[in-house]
Structure 1
Amino acid sequence: MEENRSFQSNQEEISRNPESSPSEIKDEISRKKELSPGKNDRFLNAPLRYLLLFLFAIFFVILLYGGNEAQKTSNNEVKDWFPKTFPETQKLMFFKNHFGSSEMVLISWDGLTPEDPVQEVLAEEFLKSETDEKGAALPPLVGKVLTTKGILEKLDSMNEKRYSRQKPPKPIREISEEKIQGWVLSRDRQEGCVVVEPSEEGVANREALLEKLYADAIRVTGLTREEIHIAGVTCDSVEIDRVTKTSQMRLMPIFILVCALLLVACLRNPILCFTVLVIAGVNQQIGPAAIYFTGSHMDSISLLIVALTFVLMMESGIHLSNYYRESLLEGGLDGAVTRTVRKGLLPCVLATVTTVLGMGSLAISQVSPIRHFGVYTSISLLAGTFTLFIFLGSFWENWPPYEYYFPGLKRRKKKLEEEALPIKKEESPERTFAEVHFLNNRWAKLGHFICGHYWLIISCAVILTGVFSLFVSRLETNISILGMLDSSNEVIIDYHYLEEKVGGLIPLEVVLRVPKTAENEGRTLLERLELVGMVQRCLKDVPGVDGTISILNVLPDPPPLRERSLTAVSARRIFSRQLEENVESLEDTRYYFQAAEEEMWRVSVRVQAIAKLKYEELLKAIELRIYETLLKNGITYAITPSQLEDAAFLREPLAAMEKF
């Protein structure tokens, strides 16, 4: 019977369109078959739909767990941004393997004098290990603590021995203060500070470290958190994580509320609004969950995956809602979901694929946060599109939105049909209701305008693209802490206070690697110290450098090498012997390392975070200044060819080499 009706319908279609080609008649028949209601044209069968919804609920619980755990792994440490094969990463790992981490936290407050005994009390508290619930000691978060008082007393003692047989050029205390000024002593030498070097556990758990430092400082000094100033590289990533999470927690509810209100205003159906919000909210957790289950970690850029996925899934849900509404008006409730899926599958998949291609292109980036953003956003969108069709299709088939909440749908359809009457139906009597209604819609008029003037619109777009591209070259990257946080942030205020009072807090490390050749072994340790001092002095004059620290800052003044008096010769001999006998103590300072084939001397260059420096130019200036200093003193130094070409003082030697 059903086949007879289908055959009769096809014959009627052919008789109505005798001049149409066979392919046109076939397409029209296929289109009408798709729109014709049928009880068997359901989206999957009922048991399977309920099973999929049950699995979707389990899937949501897993995503929620993974997303919450991923938030705990948030880490914005710059050293993790680049691959291990990157030259800069290898240099950083080389430095860390030999000298440890260069992280430090500087602590001070108004009224802390260099001789204040509270520094030593605070140092003892910092070095104490926390305990767990059972009273067992946890790994220490603090590896080393330096105080102004302790360093001054140690330097005074060493300088007194150094000048025990001769008159010092200045008072002993003044000599000691010169060595630590701008490091652990204020510029005016009136205020002291405490320097904390984190342990490996402290570096891995910076947030707990800072909480301990604040808690101990408040308890020992009796000051408030606002009165205590703490800054350093350790604080940066912790504060960025905190601000990012706080902003997300504050803005996300507002964001969801605005989206919900827009959905209600546009879709005007509780079930449609609810299902679109649910699928968007669930799918936004796919990215963070994938990050957690694949063993990666979140960062400030990865947090954008959540918002991006939410918006794109909501957009796709709205499109499917409109397709569903059209399917209802065209063919009734039976088969409406299936027709919706058929209509929406191709455009949604195409939109997802093009977006994934764009995001996936970020996977070739060498910067880890950018690469992770591209990869995990692509995963989130692909998986989200699949769950979108499964969830919405199953839910709408089980609980039809308009059937449950709008029993007057037929009256609404009649009203819309009356609004569509002004369209000249005689020109196209076979148009469906959805087509007629679409052509009468004011948004459709905008679409017709665009279609009729597409060359003008394309030309304007090309011109605007060309104009805006002229400004691309003026873009400047900025990864400084000042560029990431608001000027009123506590960390920024502390940076300003400590860098103005004491000195720069951003370290740039220079390592002098001296091979253990016969020639170098013939030089005394004192002579090799002179090399370190020579480099340290030349770096102080580089524009942008706020201070330098080396092993010379924790040793007494070495005797002059070129003085030939008997007293000077004796002083050099004694000084050299003491150094040779205490090589292990030199390594404890972490400014000296003795390897099997070479010895390494560390010079830490300090710059200000509050200064807007171009680090590429600064690093280039530092390396060229070192090269110039060593070259003038007859010492060879390895440097890249491109840097040699940029060195003005090497133009004549290079020309001579090329001629040779």
Structure 2
Amino acid sequence: MESSRLLTSRFRLLIFLLFVGCYPLVLHGAIQAWFSTANRVLDWLPADFEETEKLMWFAHQFGSDEILMVSWIGCGWADPHLPQLADALVQPIPSEEGESPALFRVALTSPQILEELMKPPLRLPRDEAIERLQGWLVGPDRTTSCLIALVSEAGIHDRKAAVDRVYACAEACGLDRKDVIVAGSTVDGVAIDRISLDALLEFNGASLVVCFLLTWLFLRSFRLALLVFVSAVYCQQLGMAMVYYTGRQMDSVLLMIASLAYVLVTSGAVHLVNYYIDAVRTHGLEGAPRRAFHAALLPCLLASTTTAMGLGSLTVSKIIPIARFGWYGAAVVLTGLAIIFLWLPTALEQWPPRRWAARLRSEPTSRADDFWRWWSRIVTSHAGKICLITILAMGITGWAVRGVRTTARLHDLLPPDSRVIQDYGWLEEHIGPLVPVEIVLVIPRENRASILDRLLLVERARMTLEGVEGVGSTISAANFAPALPAGPASIRDRGRRIALRRQLDSHRKDYIEAGYLVDSSEGELWRISVRVPAHARVDYAAMLARMREKIDPLLAAEEKFSGVRAEFCGGVPLIQKAQEQLLTDLIESFLLAFVLIAVAMAILLRSLVAGALSMIPNLLPCTLIFGVMGWLGTKIEIGAVMTASVALGVAVDGTLHFVTWFRRGIEQGMNRRDAVCFSYSRCATAMVQSSMICGLGLLVFSASDFVPIHRFAWLMFTLLAAALVADVVVTPAILAGPLGRYFEPHPRQRGDG
């Protein structure tokens, strides 16, 4: 539909009614999405990954691995609060409708398990019993105790309620909330929820204000700034509403969609308003919205398309939050383009800023134009040197990018002084390591070895794992069994072994109830729980490899256990896979974004060479920033991984606008240097304005305590600043030099224009 028809009074009314009529739905969806946030690092990988399948298999066989460890300063064997809290946690929760299911299915205390080990049939001496519990239920001082609570299905469904229940019950038992120390994967997700939501609640308003004030400053019109602000806020809320109406939950990554949508739409709207300014300055206020619509449609459409390509490239990620961010980000950018091209020209036609327009037309040549003419002379005079320095810089920093490493560890996502990190540190110091690796020995059904031989195999495997560097504590069914014989069987102890086999057979059900033995269709599953530190800088990949190197030869050498195998499950294999996948996704998504945008530029410019050359200034910021991070050995997490592709898509916007005006200058008969100067005067100011609005609007979030949001904000600001420099220095240098001829329209194109 033509802009002239869109801007008639009848269609203006229809557009206003459409926007106002849809807003209640948009607002409702945004609010619902905001309060449906859920985060858990272990849920990042898709269900068809081997590590995820193994974790699901483990949960199916042994039950959920979600366990909370609870303790407090001074918690010892005789602490009366331990049994009180354990009993309170497994009780149903009173509610107005009766009783809600308990959020914990089992709660066990150190004294309770110690008593079980010391009473018949085991009758272990107290010192030996305590030794078996050290490192997972009892601290190194042999006194500090704790409680472990297994989260129920109801607790998994509402993890925040489960964590809050622990603190509420602790207070009801007479404990001070600030003294209660809680850790476990359930707490991790709740902590990420809270800190990411707090960050956005705290800084989202500041970002809105910064962007609005910058827009007002640059456009020098409160009315124009307000119209841009309305369109940006509408798109921000629309982005969150999309998540809700498509049946998804917000997470710590998707929460950034709202802010990203706001700054990107503001940036696009500023470009459109600058075309409007140009139309008013050259031909007056009458008909300016139509002229701005026609002039801005193609470059803004192309710019939004490349931005959507950058975001869309993230959909290839196997990390679920990143892939969703890519889908919704691309959708919001394209929808935002439609909104600003419907809303802004319509609003400007309805409420034209007449006083502002009169002041604009009465002004002489702006200082900005004088600056850009001066800057153009400098850049075009040193075009060759600039291109050479650019290639050298890209080569050096591009090589250093190989040093980039990724992380998905909780301690790299939250600040060191956060409550959950402090709690982990205290528990690991006073009790033992907390991060689980579950090794399951699968003994085929056809195996005829006795239960004693099987437990001896489990114990040999446990002792082998305990000796692996990085392993803290190990737990298996052997921890709850009588003392097992050491060394090969002899005639003298044959009778004792027969008696021990009978005793073990009689308590087989106890090992099943304890969750360390399962009878399955595959055979017997014997579980060995390994705990590794969360606080120390442990290389999980190397540690898992060392475990494999020890266990596989051990099992292969067992003559009685042909076909036995070890399955590695739990949080550590999943976190390690997430870390590897983050690096893979960074490379794959960036390469996809680069190829898609390069092809689009080649088609637009009708030249493969021009398409490739146009990517140089857009590739430069990413190689520089990530190259420096590689040199410094900085680990990047989920927030940083997304920035390369997003920044590439946003950075190419400036290149598109500059090249578009360059080609128009050539079509008007200018030489390349004059066409570059013409481009500066037409779009450089808008490029600076949009980059500053995007960069500073996101930089506000760098004050967040949540590391992915903090790193995303800093990197986006740095990348956009570098992209702006590249667009006003490198792009003009390429266009002004000999390579600029590849960007010139072909004679037929000139004639068509």
Q: Structure 1 residues 43, 179: CA separation in 2 closer, same or farther (over 3 Å shift)?
A: same
Q: How does 1:144-223 map to 2 (within 5 A)?
A: 144-158=106-120, 161-162=121-122, 172-223=125-176
TM-score (norm 2): 0.71
Question: What amino acid is aligned across from residue 64 of structure 1 in structure 2?
Answer: L
SS in 1 for 2:32: helix
Gaps of 5+ in 2: 568-753
What's the CA shift for 1:105?
1.1
Residue of structure 2 in register with 1:336 after alignment:
288
Match of 2:250 in 1: 298
CA deviations over 1:135-175 (Å, ceiling 9, x no partner): x11122111111011101111113xx346xxxxxxx71112
| 1:606 counterpart = 2:559 | no
Equivalent residues in 2 for 1:239-258, closer than 5 Å:
239-258=191-210
Computing the radius of gyration over CA atoms, which structure comes out larger, 1 or 2? Answer: 1
Report the TM-score, using the length of structure 1 for normalisation: 0.81
Q: Deviation per CA, 1:378-426: give whole Å up to 9, x if none.
A: 01101111111111122111111x12xx2x7435423x2xx24xxxxxx
Instruction: For residue 471 of structure 1, give the secondary structure of its aligned residue in structure 2.
Output: helix
> What is the CA–CA distance in structure 1 between the aligned matches of 2:390 and 2:271, rounded to whole Å?
26
What percent of counterpart residues are identical?
33
Q: How does 1:250-269 map to 2 (within 5 A)?
A: 250-269=202-221
Q: Distance in 1 between matches of 2:238 and 2:533?
A: 40
Matches within 5 A, 1:554-569: 554-559=480-485, 562=488, 564=490, 568-569=493-494
CA deviation map 1:220-255 (0-9, x unaligned): 1332x2211111222111111111111111111111
1:287 positional shift: 2.9
Corresponding residue number in structure 2 for 1:510: 439
- Measure, in 2, the Cα distance between the counterparts of 1:605 and 1:103: 15
Q: Does 1:129 align with 2:55?
A: no
What amino acid sits opposite 1:108 in the alignment? S
> What is the correspondence of 1:548-587 to structure 2 with a 5 Å cutoff?
548-559=474-485, 562=488, 564=490, 568-587=493-512
Q: Please, what is the CA RMSD of the aligned residues?
A: 2.3
Residue by residue over 1:577-628, the C-alpha shift from the partner in whole angstroms, topping out at 9 and shown as x without a partner, is 3433443332221111101341101111100100111111111111111013
| Deviation larger for 314-323 or 61-70 | 61-70
User: What corresponds to 1:139 in structure 2?
Assistant: 101
> What secondary structure sits across from 1:197 in the alignment?
strand
Paired residues for 1:204-603 under 5 Å: 204-223=157-176, 225-400=177-352, 402-403=353-354, 406=355, 409-410=357-358, 412-414=360-362, 416=363, 419-420=364-365, 440-447=369-376, 449-451=378-380, 453-517=382-446, 520-521=447-448, 523-559=449-485, 562=488, 564=490, 568-603=493-528
Whether the 8 Å CA contact 1:116–1:149 is kept in 2: the answer is: no
CA distance in 2, matches of 1:321, 1:308: 20
Q: Is residue 117 of structure 1 aligned with residue 117 of structure 2? A: no
Alpha-carbon distance in structure 2 between the residues aligned to 1:41 and 1:370: 41
For 1:481, give the aligned amino acid. Answer: L
Shift of 1:46: 1.3
What is the DSSP-based 3-state SS (H/G/I as helix, E as strand, rest coil) of the residue aligned with 2:100? coil
In structure 2, the partner of 1:7 is none
C-alpha displacement of 1:94? 1.0
Which residue identity lines up with residue 23 of structure 2 in the other structure? F
Counterpart check, 1:93 vs 2:56? yes
Question: In terms of mean alpha carbon deviation, does 548-557 or 487-496 score higher?
Answer: 548-557
- In the alignment, residue 58 of structure 1 is paired with which amino acid? G
CA contact (8 A) 1:231 1:495 kept: yes
Give the CA deviation at 1:638: 5.4
AA matched with 2:57: F
Q: How many angstroms does 1:561 deviate by? A: 7.5
What is the distance in 1 between the residues matched to 2:26 and 2:171? 40
SS of residue matched to 2:99: coil
- Structure 1 match to 2:12: 49
**Higher RCO, 1 or 2 (CA under 8 Å, sep at least 6)?**
2
Structure 1: gaps (5+ residues): 1-33, 35-39, 164-170, 421-436, 641-660
* Contact in 2 for aligned 1:323/1:343 (Cα 8 Å): yes
Kindly indicate whether the alpha-carbon contact (under 8 Å) linking 1:50 and 1:394 is maintained by their aligned counterparts in 2.
Answer: no
Q: How many residues align?
A: 564
1:622 matched to 2:585? The reply is no
Higher helix content, 1 or 2: 2
Q: Give secondary structure in 1 for the equivalent of 2:119.
A: helix
Matched AA of 1:145: A
Q: Tell me the secondary structure at the aligned position of residue 148 of structure 2.
A: strand
How far residue 571 of structure 1 moved from its aligned partner, in angstroms, is 4.2
Q: Distance in 1 between matches of 2:54 and 2:522?
A: 18
Q: Residues 42 and 335 of structure 1 are in contact (CA less than 8 Å); yes or no, is this contact kept in structure 2?
A: no
Is the CA contact (8 Å cut-off) linking 2:33 and 2:249 kept in structure 1? yes
Question: SS where residue 590 of structure 1 aligns?
Answer: coil
1:447 deviation in Å? 4.4
**Matched residue SS, 1:230:** strand
Question: 2:490 and 2:67 mapped to 1: Cα distance?
Answer: 41
Q: CA deviation at 1:452?
A: 5.4
Deviations 1:249-272 (A, max 9, x none): 111111111112212211121211
The change in CA–CA distance for 1:219 and 1:544 in structure 2 (over 3 A counts) is same
CA-CA distance at 1:296 after TM superposition: 2.3
Check whether the contact 1:142–1:197 (CA below 8 A) recurs between aligned residues. Answer: yes
| 1:645 corresponds to | none
Q: Are the aligned partners of 1:233 and 1:505 in contact in 2 as well (CA < 8 Å)?
A: no
SS for the counterpart of 1:514 is: strand
Distance, in Å, in 1 between the alignment partners of 2:94 and 2:459 is 44
Aligned-partner Cα distance in 2 for 1:303–1:448:
44
From the superposition, tell whether residues 457 and 290 of structure 1 become closer, same or farther in structure 2 (CA, over 3 Å).
farther
Give 3-state SS (helix, strand or coil) of 1:545's partner. coil
Change (3 A) 1:75 1:452: farther
Q: CA separation of 1:330/1:204 partners in 2, compared to 1, >3 Å: closer, same or farther?
A: same
Question: What are the Cα deviations for residues 431-475 of structure 1, in whole angstroms up to 9, with x where unaligned?
Answer: xxxxxx699442344345445544443333222222222321222
Task: Please say if residues 42 and 337 of structure 1, whose CA atoms lie closer than 8 Å, have aligned partners that are also in contact.
Answer: no
Three-state SS of the structure 2 residue aligned to 1:284 is helix
Identify the residue that residue 68 of structure 1 maps to in structure 2: 31
Structure 1 461/287 Cα, relative in aligned 2: closer, same or farther at 3 Å? farther
Contact 2:76 2:145 in 1 (8 A): yes
Checking the alignment, whether the CA contact within 8 Å between 2:440 and 2:566 is kept in structure 1 is no
Answer yes or no: is the 8 Å Cα contact 1:563–1:569 preserved in 2: yes
2:443 and 2:565 in contact (8 A); partners too: no
Q: Tell me: CA distance 1:324–1:474, structure 2 relative to 1, closer, same or farther (3 Å).
A: same
